[in-house]
Amino acid sequence: MINMTSGKNDTLAVLFDLDGTLSDSLDFIRHNYLEVFTEMGLPWGNDDVMRWIGRGLKDIARHFAGNGEEKFIELYQQCFNRDHDKYTRLYPGTLEMLEGIRARRLKTGLVTSKGRPGTIRTVELTGLDRYLDVIITAHDVEKHKPLPDPVLKALEVLNVQPANALFVGDSHFDMESGRSAGTGIIGVPWGMAPVEELLKYDPLGILENWDELEKYI
């Protein structure tokens, strides 16, 4: 663990990103995008699209497909729906970590740039839904990560002030969103961004495993 500052005892809510943070889904996402790029004849580049994970699908489609945005989204959703249940899984210890947080009577929430149908499918399949008080998706706000709006929306629903919340994520989009919203931010290195990139946003810490989260709440 990289500990930037001591934990706080006034935490009332812990928010999490989904893909690359709770859900071990990045290989699945890459597989889907590769199939879409191949079908549409788009240049794959050096995994360029994967650097956009954490942004909404519409933003990604618009950037890489231009006028082919609608077809891009349609193809991606077809791939997602076909293979989701086969490849979706959580990182080890995720449910146990959430159960421990709930046992301490803290509120929990999910803040993701994934659309609501795909998000609900993931959380129900994996059992995450039993541990979440709020779920904010790309369909629930007009402005998405890295802007603060989805984090602030989750806290509004929970009736928790940003200063009393933590946001845990794996990408610079998560770090920027939580920082702009005024929450404490914590990075995990098993998702999109390397530790060096996460540290640029001055997080409270970088976890090596879920057991270390307890030090911050």
Catalytic residue among 10, 17, 149, 202: 17
Is 17 catalytic? The answer is yes
Quickly list DSSP for the chain.
-EE-S---S---EEEE-SBTTTB--HHHHHHHHHHHHHHHT---TTTGGGGGBTB-HHHHHHHHHGGGHHHHHHHHHHHHHHHHHHH--BPTTHHHHHHHHHHTT-EEEEE-SS-HHHHHHHHHHHTGGGG-SEEE-TTS-SS-TTSSHHHHHHHHHHT--GGGEEEEESSHHHHHHHHHHT-EEEE-TTSSS-HHHHHTT--SEE-SSGGGGGGG-
Q: What is the 3-state secondary structure (H, E, C) of 30-66?
A: HHHHHHHHHHHCCCCCCCHHHHHECECHHHHHHHHHH
Catalytic center residues = 17
